[in-house]
Chain A
Amino acid sequence: MSGGLSSVSFPKNAHAALANPPLLKAIAHIEETLVSGRRRAIDALPEFEALRDAGRDIKAHTLKHLDLYLEAFEKKVLEAGGFVHWAADAAEASRIVLDICQAAGARQVTKGKSMITEEVGLNAFLEANGITPVETDLGEYIIQLRAETPSHIIAPAVHVNKEQVAADFRRVHTNLDPRRNLDEPTSLLSEARGVLRERFLAADVGITGANFLIAETGSTVIVTNEGNGDLTQILPKTHIVLASIEKVVPTLEDVATIMRLLARSATGQEMSVYTTFSTGPRRAGDPDGPEAFHVVLLDNGRSAMLGTEFEDMLRCIRCGACINHCPVYRSIGGHAYGSVYPGPMGSVLTPSLHGLEKSAHLANASTLCGRCESVCPMRIPLPKMLRHWREKEFERHLTPKKARYGLAAWRFLATRPRLYGMVTRFAAWGFARFAGKKGALSQVPLAGGWTRWRDLPAPEGGTFRTEWAKRGRK
């Protein structure tokens, strides 16, 4: 069970993940599926780099005028007969959703896949208030059965293997024929479909997220691969869209541009299988659609990022490419982060949403290798922002004492070249002598973090500067 993990215990969480072979095996698949899929899709699209610039510019422009575009969006939603609610934080968003559900007399709600509902903890809140939420995305459905949280923003159950899913289905779907074959992903999918079909029909309210909000038309857009989002929002009488404020873009055409980046970066598809635009409730003459259409716009720390060094993060379209390419995520999976959003994007976003005190590990647990930035379709400078969090941590004296003293000692020494020369000369000589014929040491005092896993190569002997001076050179 992962829901209880916290970012504060990140090293412990990581330790547990590294001792979990089925988990490591499951996340290793990201290479053959998402990473190579993205590579193929991008190699086939020569204008990809130009599209990245265009996508970045659209979002950067929108963020500069976010208030105007949000107001325009609200106006259009109202004109189409929908409602818009503004939520400052997670508690307010949950409250608003609950009020709408209660006013609709809802007992059961179906949900499309949405990270924002995870961010606000909506499922637990609804349950505590007597309303049963049913996840309809296969991955989300699986982790709901397992009482877990998503370990990836686009592949929530990426940490689970198919044997585990089969066992979960047999445990929960009690009228399941024990002879039913559940060996293949397709048979698992059809089993889930069968169960979900009844839930779709019984639901009073459907809740989805949004990949985009369009200011020009007042539409909300979701992209899915299973079509579950459409059934979630079409069948119940009430449709609630819960979306964060940075999802807004000016026009339909902007959506078309960014969509070309989204699926390719996420799964390597040219387009997701379903792309659904919703504009207001059902109109007279519409064959289907909800009778009531609500959009809940969540801030939750985002407007405070505007105008700061973290503004660029609000360009994120949640494709997950940075996560898939992150060597740290690929070593430990998503739950170890102890945050709603894992990987590089999560490590930048989480301190903004929940405060740096509880999440300082996240910004530090990165090699700053830069692969995340190199694949980010919105060209978000993730390493730079991770470093900004480290700076804030240092300024606020949150950096652990040992590291602070180490840095102070290094600065003292390194800004005194003569002393530095003496100390390093002596240390290199002593170290090399100590290593003797071995060339590398398997145990070094104060370097336990290194030598637990690797030998420490010994210095050659004299430092470069001494050897250089010996040759009479300048």
Chain B
Amino acid sequence: MTTPKPRIGLFVTCLVDFFRPTVGFSAVKLLEDAGCEVSVPAAQTCCGQPAYNSGDRAGARALAEQVIALFETFDHVVVPSGSCTGMIKMHYPDLFSGEPDWRLRAERLAAKTHELTSFLVDVLGVAPLPINWEGTATYHDSCSGLRELGIKAQPRQLLSAVEGLAVREMRDPEACCGFGGTFCVKYDEISNAIVDRKAADIRATGADVLLSGDLGCLLNIAGKLKREGSRVEVRHIAEVLAGMASGPAIGETRK
């Protein structure tokens, strides 16, 4: 008798959907290689974080309802982003205070929602298929993943299994990159000062690739490095782990 495969609903996130489908396909591959059955509900859009962090609770709630209804039937929900996972796991229940039915549904969804690297390590406990990727990487801890979900060791553990890859830590990998959702355009000058320090820390490692688990941070950092004329490549960790990092990096095109 074989145990049935866990049924995973993949929430790709609006940024991955729009900017970087490769991250979604990498996540699917990692999950399928690990023996999961993966679905990507077609009606998914955004988790509601922009509204929530702008004080628009009603807007956030409307999107939360949509996500709950779409994903609550799966065994697990997996998200290739610390901040969107944080939104669902840490903040959805809060949006429905005073509405016991909805709150219960939000709590149930929160309990089975996981960030991708944490799902692979903490829930499945399987090592990804062995891959080989030559290079030196440095890893940026995204704020929500790190401080809301405690994700720190998992991505490093997964990266340490990649043949040929050396990880060199930057001075302060836990420092914010200055993205902050709408912060980066509302207070663009301050955001720039923050990402400027991050870019300097990355360059100081001498690594040739910057990896992280959140596309918001990655777009911000890639945009800064690119503007500075840096040759450091920027990628989502899932691309490397899935062996799908041969295409152009973020902000690059086929040479």
Binding site for B on A (CB under 8 A): 11, 14-15, 18, 327-328, 331-332, 364-371, 373-374, 387, 389-395, 399, 403, 407-408, 410-411, 413-415, 417-418, 420-421, 424, 427-428, 435-440, 442, 447, 449-450, 452-460, 462-465, 467-469, 473-474
Q: Which of A371, A407, A469, A473 contacts B50, CB < 8 Å? A: A407
Q: Which of B53, B54, B250 contacts A457, CB < 8 Å? A: B250
Binding site for A on B (CB under 8 A): 12, 14, 16-22, 24-25, 39-40, 42-46, 48, 50-57, 59, 62-63, 66, 143-144, 147-148, 174-176, 178-195, 219-220, 222-224, 226-227, 248, 250-253
Nearest chain-B residue to A396 (Cβ)?
Answer: B55
Residues of A within 8 A of B44 (CB): 417, 465
Q: Which of A369, A392, A462, A469 contacts B147, CB < 8 Å? A: A369
A410 with B46, Cβ < 8 A, contacts A368-B180, A459-B20 known: yes
User: Can you show 18 pairs from A to B with CB atoms below 8 A apart?
Assistant: A14-B190, A327-B175, A331-B190, A365-B187, A369-B143, A369-B147, A369-B180, A371-B174, A390-B53, A414-B66, A415-B63, A418-B43, A439-B252, A453-B188, A455-B226, A456-B223, A462-B21, A474-B40
Residues of A within 8 A of B59 (CB): 407-408, 410-411
On whether the beta carbons of A465 and B176 are closer than 8 Å, the reply is no
On whether the beta carbons of B253 and A11 are closer than 8 Å, the reply is no
On whether the beta carbons of B182 and A14 are closer than 8 Å, the reply is no
A457 with B51, Cβ < 8 A, contacts A331-B193, A369-B143, A414-B46 known: no
Nearest chain-B residue to A402 (Cβ)?
Answer: B186
Residues of B within 8 A of A424 (CB): 14, 17-18
Residues of B within 8 A of A368 (CB): 53, 143, 180-181, 183
A467 to B147: give the CA distance in the assembly, Å: 33
Residues of B within 8 A of A468 (CB): 21, 24, 40, 42
User: What's the least CB distance linking B77 to chain A, in Å?
Assistant: 16
Nearest chain-B residue to A458 (Cβ)?
Answer: B251
A411 with B63, Cβ < 8 A, contacts A370-B144, A370-B147, A453-B191 known: yes
Residues of A within 8 A of B43 (CB): 417-418
Beyond A14-B187, A369-B180, A415-B62, list 6 extra A-B contacts (CB 8 Å): A14-B190, A367-B178, A387-B53, A410-B51, A411-B56, A437-B253
On whether the beta carbons of A454 and B226 are closer than 8 Å, the reply is yes
**Contact residues of A: prevailing secondary structure:** helix
On whether the beta carbons of B180 and A474 are closer than 8 Å, the reply is no
User: What's the least CB distance linking B141 to chain A, in Å?
Assistant: 10
A429 to B185: give the CA distance in the assembly, Å: 23
| Number of residue pairs A-B, CB distance < 8 angstroms | 209
Nearest chain-A residue to B40 (Cβ)?
Answer: A468
Q: Which of B18, B22, B184, B220 contacts A427, CB < 8 Å? A: B18
On whether the beta carbons of B50 and A410 are closer than 8 Å, the reply is yes
User: What's the least CB distance linking A440 to chain B, in Å?
Assistant: 4
On whether the beta carbons of B53 and A15 are closer than 8 Å, the reply is no
Residues of A within 8 A of B179 (CB): 367
On whether the beta carbons of A370 and B223 are closer than 8 Å, the reply is no
On whether the beta carbons of A440 and B21 are closer than 8 Å, the reply is no
Residues of A within 8 A of B220 (CB): 454
Residues of A within 8 A of B144 (CB): 370
Q: Which of B16, B22, B192 contacts A454, CB < 8 Å? A: B192
User: What's the least CB distance linking B111 to chain A, in Å?
Assistant: 20
On whether the beta carbons of B16 and A464 are closer than 8 Å, the reply is yes
On whether the beta carbons of A327 and B147 are closer than 8 Å, the reply is no
User: What's the least CB distance linking B125 to chain A, in Å?
Assistant: 26
On whether the beta carbons of A420 and B45 are closer than 8 Å, the reply is yes
Q: Which of A365, A457, A464 contacts B226, CB < 8 Å? A: A457
Residues of B within 8 A of A437 (CB): 253
Residues of B within 8 A of A413 (CB): 45
